[in-house]
Structure 1
Amino acid sequence: MASQDSQMFHWHYTELDDRNFQVRGHTLFYVVVLFAVVLLAALFFLYARRVCSPPPEASHGAAVDAAVPGLPLGLDAGAIDKLPIVLHGGAATGVEEAGECSICLGAFEDGEKVKVLPKCGHCYHSACVDQWLVTRSVCPLCRAPLRVDSAGP
């Protein structure tokens, strides 16, 4: 028994041959079919990902802004400066009072100056909405278009 164990684990590189690793019978066929199935599945998932993913221009609201014909992509600095600024929490401001800026999600504090969009009445921090309106001419929340002539108080 000891001699059999020593022969079994006594391998040298010269003693290794490929006779034990031969592919016989239907094994090659099964390997080729398995490889083909995996390849087809990978191609199908890549195709489905390509077809089902939205186009790159649809991200970040660019497609919504471009869908409104005749509107410029953003407002100029003069039109942005003409938007009314009110104190948050003040009595009878006449605007829709919100608890937070929907751009930065920061809460409004009493007495804080917020910029109000005239068409929809949504309030935002001045810096947040100014940065938004440089590249887009719509309300960040409801997508109401802001024309340059309607930007006045």
Structure 2
Amino acid sequence: MAAQEGAAGTTNQAARVRYGDVDDSNFALRGRAVPLLAGLLALLVAFVAVCLYLRWSCGRRRARRDHEASSSSAAASPVPGLDADAINGLPVTLYSPPASSPARSTAAKKGGDGGEEERRRQEAAAAVECSICISALVAGEKVKALPPCGHCFHPECVDAWLRSQPSCPLCRTLLLPAAVVANGGEPPV
């Protein structure tokens, strides 16, 4: 047992390191190492500073661009809709279905087999719809025919549309000049 303790004691002594025995010359900075490390540290600080500046600059530029875009779109946006006078100035008429052409009706009278087709065409022409509320326009019903394009709609349907949009709901023809002429006024400045 004593032999084992002695052998263990020698291994413990070899594994122990005294700080006085360590040579600090391996960690010492000599010659060009000090300026090199100082230069690398300065380069790292400069890189971080440039990155922070670019982040700040891009953020300001983006904020300025968003502000300019919102202010220019508000200034350049078209009129949101027509005013009440322009809407009331549009003509209201009684709806009458489009008449079939005389050539078709005479051909239908002469040939007995074409009469069924002609009747279907007349029913299709009579079943014209208000494209806003998707209900049929009935003969004798009040409709508003828009002057530039001639499309017909129920007055209450098209009035609600024209308060928000200055165009025909079907073909998107602008109605601003037509509404001004219908009112007998001058175009807005």
TM-score, scaled relative to structure 1: 0.47
Higher helix residue share = 2
Name the larger-Rg structure. 2
